[in-house]
Structure 1
């Protein structure tokens, strides 16, 4: 998907456009019938592209040759894969990245700015697609491109160049080690393990939109996203009020439009509307049972997408598409990470503390964002308990265990709480851990949720005992290669007191008010046009 108009600065824009923004120009059906459809779809695909003889084999090899692949992770990521639920199922998380690459004639024509050709692309659209463990619900969560975050140390897998950790807007992560660096940035911010990534550029959006045959979008007023006296740039989108079917370059213009909506978060909302409409369109067309349409989509998808290497075959991409297709539209929720203005730069954003943390916790615990599921689908608390490791016996007494305490209470909007590591080291000493000590060398660390880390399996029971002494849930005890002994990392969720605050389990559909959530079955969504861009 993609991306706002571009500026010569490193971040290629930084404002939100519109209201108060920068003037920078860059910016299935259930039942037996459903099962028959799925069986027929699989048969169709096997005949078309998975046959072992003649044209079938050659066509499969052709599609396979279209696909570009890369390393899943190229940064210093710390998230751990969610444990399976009672049925042995795990959630699936896929990071979708819209690249602003101008590194081809077609992309330069679609995106402009020839002077920037050859520079590393930025990830101006970033969206996490979450499929629940039972595959009955899904979520699509965007982070606006101008959100300031911690980007970890990353190594470019193509050049070997090492980029040091930094704190800047999230769209720069793609230029600091590729999609694998963006994935690591997301994992560290959210604590959510991400299985795969997909990237798409300007020309890919156009090709996919044409293969789909058009998607319905809606505006409440006439819109023209053009340069104005106050703000240069614009996507060129021009249409009258009402519902329109967009495809090709017009679809790209819709997805890139930012100024006409008034902000970057509202651009994410327009993208969510497009994707929800696209999903409804594909479901309505029964494209997976139409051999010709399936071949068109397979051709467009394999040419348009670059993917992490674990899903880099036509069959794996098809299987992924079928999993997405199986989720009913009323169980799909699209939203934007709750955010607030960056106190360091009014043209940037930062995560909205507790509200953003709550949403990430729902993803980590696999709690559905909608309320349309059945009670038998499983509650978040049960899944949370299932993800915790079994409790083991400590290997030594408290007095014989060295425990290091780190202060990681810093957030994007708040400084770390002074003396926090020392306070909790003293609390552990009082509880018999006389070798507990504060780590004074990591004052800039930041984690959302407190965690007890341990380096090897023989210390798991000891780490769990430390957590129990302070009232920390065992689900927050994690093995990690980043520590040399049992280490208490005090997060932003514990900025005061010596007893870990009680955490209430999130409930299905209990989303923050400022997440701007849209249900996938909502066909009445329509974008408001910011005043200067009406005609």
Structure 2
């Protein structure tokens, strides 16, 4: 072998070594970045130990449905129905929330309340909206300090969150429905707006003109592609539509929920790691959950089980109500229709 061949082999060896070191370095940096991202997303989530706070004096959990024979798969879907209380809240302080109309930490309110019932096979779901102006009997709720709130009769539904936070919101819903809330999810104003922006906006169709000075939203009837701030304003609009009651706003919120599902389905997040991270960061950064959903792993598992759930398989309803005899500006549950609705959620 000549000296020139030796030099060429030496150069190739050094080149291969440099490439190997570069790839190894990139791999290490990539793993480190993934580890940092996972920790960051996990740390974003705020959780409340609702099960421990409420103890065993609660409605029973849903019954497990037997899996039909011949339907085994490598990743079987859950065989138990799931009920999740979802609140839209302005409870978190901060410049972004206040800019979007949120309150400070001493003025917590639950502007939106939905019970999401997911069937045992994860092929369908029902979203039941509870008007925040509903008058209910609010039970005594445990407080983190060790004390408890006083029970109240004929109180507005959204006062449960105001006086006792997530624990009291869950206990009040379970008391009025006799349906066990398996999980709790709370989304704040700024996080919702960030999520919509991370998804590239959301397209909705409104049946009538909207002009609401309180939510700062003006839209002509028709189809619109909204950014995060506009979508949040739509979710909060009530005075610019219908009779100005909370029932009109609920209709807009239900339209928005279906539109978001369609937008998520149309957005292939797996082909864009950057957008996937933006969406994950927006979601986790806006969440308060129970301890059963307070990790990225648990949230991902729930999302995986719902991958076949489309907007066509989502039913949206509002708890049947009538004007309250004591106050025409408030509502009460319309019976027996309300009890029949909640009863349908207790069946497998």
How far apart are residue 188 of structure 1 and its match?
A: 1.4
Structure 1 residues 86, 221: CA separation in 2 closer, same or farther (over 3 Å shift)? closer
CA contact (8 A) 1:99 1:122 kept: yes
1:344 offset after TM fit, Å? 1.6
TM-score, normalised by the number of residues in structure 1 = 0.54
5+ long unaligned stretches in structure 2? 1-28, 68-77
The reply to whether residue 143 of structure 1 matches residue 139 of structure 2 is no
Gaps of 5+ in 1: 1-50, 227-233, 367-535
Number of the residue aligned with 1:98: 88
Deviation (angstroms), 1:326? 1.9
Counterpart in 2 of 1:253?
233
| Cα distance change on mapping 1:276 and 1:291 into 2, 3 Å | same
Q: Which residues in structure 2 correspond to 1:187-266 (within 5 Å)?
A: 187-226=174-213, 234-261=214-241, 262=243, 263-266=245-248
Partner of 1:476: none
Residues 142-161 of structure 1 mapped to structure 2, 5 A cutoff: 142-157=129-144, 159-161=145-147
1:81 to 56, 61, 66: 61
Number of residue pairs the alignment of both structures matches: 305
Paired position in structure 1 for 2:37: 59
Report deviation, 1:342: 0.9
Give CA-to-partner distance per residue, 1:129-183, whole Å, 9 cap, x none.
11101111111111000101122111222x3341022121110111222112111
Q: 1:102 to 1:307 in 2, by over 3 A?
A: closer
Q: Is the 8 A contact 1:145 1:264 kept in 2?
A: yes
**Aligned-residue CA RMSD in angstroms?**
2.0
Q: Does the 8 Å contact 2:110/2:161 carry over to 1?
A: yes
The answer (yes or no) to whether the contact 2:117–2:345 under 8 Å persists in 1 is yes
Q: Distance in 1 between matches of 2:147 and 2:247?
A: 32
- Does 1:121 pair with 2:108? yes
- Check whether the contact 2:62–2:82 (CA below 8 A) recurs between aligned residues: no
Q: How far apart in 2 are the matches of 1:272 and 1:222?
A: 17
Is contact 1:156–1:176 with CA below 8 Å preserved after alignment?
A: no
- Show the counterpart of 1:166: 152
Structure 1 residues 331 and 219, CA gap change in structure 2 (3 angstroms): closer
Task: Choose between structure 1 and 2: higher helix proportion.
Answer: 2
Higher relative contact order (CA 8 A, sep 6+): 2
In structure 2, how many angstroms separate the alpha carbons of the residues matched to 1:111 and 1:332? 29
1:129-528 map, 5 Å: 129-157=116-144, 159-167=145-153, 168-226=155-213, 234-261=214-241, 262=243, 263-366=245-348
Change (3 A) 1:224 1:173: same
Aligned mates of 1:136, 1:118 — CA distance in 2:
38
Aligned counterpart, 1:516? none
Mapped to 1, the partners of 2:199 and 2:288 lie a distance apart of 19
DSSP 3-state at the match of 1:178: helix
* Distance in 2, Cα, partners of 1:318 & 1:61: 14
C-alpha distance after superposition, 1:181-209 (max 9, x if no partner):
11111111111111111111211121111
CA distance in 2, matches of 1:248, 1:331: 25
Alignment of 1:22-37 (within 5 A): none
Which 10-residue stretch deviates more, 338-347 or 212-221? Answer: 212-221
TM-score, structure 2 as length reference? 0.82
For the 8 Å contact 1:131–1:137, the answer to whether it is kept is yes
- SS of the aligned residue for 1:173 comes to helix
Shift of 1:289: 4.9
